[in-house]
Structure 1
Amino acid sequence: MSKDLAKISTFIAKHHVMSLATTDTKKPNVCSLFYAYDESKLSFVVASSVDTLHVKNILQNSAVAGNIFLETQEIGKIEGLQFEGTMTLLNESNLKKFYFKRFPYALAMMPKLWQIKVDYFKLTDNRLGFGKKIIYSSALA
């Protein structure tokens, strides 16, 4: 794993909620989701019902974008991650186990699980210098 991806993974591991943006190609939607992140697969695992607008959107258009951030008023401590990828129904049993290990209480609800395969990350980390960006793109990897 590259040094940049390691920094991105470290940031992701400190958090557990993302904002996810979807669209049916006409109207955008944003939601908040709990996630588990598998750094070896560059994938988030999320739980969501097929009745939600964001899942209805990804069934028409699997492209998604999202962010995770540290809320702070101290400029020097600002950290935030933006990402882009595709979201599909999760088929890998090892990722299902991974999600339920992180959120064991979710097992009682037997939710549908989805995989967000990330192909682009941009981490802003002002602790490394004002406006410092770390970018990963699978197109450049």
Structure 2
Amino acid sequence: MLDERILKFIKKEHLASICVIKDDGTPHAFSAFYAFNSDEISLFIASDESTEHIKAIKNRPEISGTIALNTLIVGKIRGVQFNGTISVAEDVENYFKRFVFAKSMNAKIYKILLKSIKFTDNTLGFGTKILWQRS
């Protein structure tokens, strides 16, 4: 079960930085708005098939990423680091509920099934980490 503090943080934010590995072995990072599905612990993003990151996931669906609070105050730093696998989403309504404007884009919706999360929350004490792993 996902810790309530992680759940609350991911639900509140909206932008993830994600990294994939291209066929030649080089990493490629990108940012994306996401919608969170707490039932299956997954993120949904929209992207175009012509992008470098979507080309990369066709052969290597493993991804890593971060979601971070934008702050310069060390005591308020909060964020997650995550790993997972990405694929074309079947259920896209979760994404369109959060980002209605995306319906007008010619983008596909992708699902990131989260496999592990490390939540850092300095508001609980400097360097406090809460871990979650899919069983």
Q: Sort the TM-score into its range (normalised by shorter chain).
A: over 0.9
> For residue 11 of structure 2, what is the aligned residue in structure 1?
13
The counterpart of 2:94, out of the listed 85, 94, 98, is 98
> For residue 27 of structure 1, what is the aligned residue in structure 2?
26
Give 1:24 shift. Answer: 2.2
Q: Please, what is the CA RMSD of the aligned residues? A: 1.1
> For residue 65 of structure 1, what is the aligned residue in structure 2?
64
Give 1:80 shift. Answer: 1.1
> For residue 131 of structure 2, what is the aligned residue in structure 1?
135
Counterparts of 1:102 and 1:14, CA distance in 2: 12
Give 1:82 shift. Answer: 0.3
Secondary structure of the 2:58 match is helix
TM-score normalised by L of structure 1: 0.91
How many equivalent pairs are there? Answer: 134
Secondary structure of the 1:101 match is helix
Give 1:91 shift. Answer: 1.5
Higher helix share: 1
- The answer on whether the counterparts of 2:18 and 2:66 sit within 8 Å (CA) in structure 1 is yes
Q: Deviations 1:8-62 (Å, cap 9, x if unpaired)?
A: 1100111111000000251100000000000111110000001000101100100
- Structure 1 unmatched ranges of 5 or more: none
User: How does 1:31-46 map onto structure 2 within 5 Å?
Assistant: 31-46=30-45
Secondary structure of the 1:12 match is helix
Give 1:110 shift. Answer: 4.0
- The answer on whether the counterparts of 2:48 and 2:106 sit within 8 Å (CA) in structure 1 is no
- Structure 2 unmatched ranges of 5 or more: none
Counterparts of 1:104 and 1:56, CA distance in 2: 25
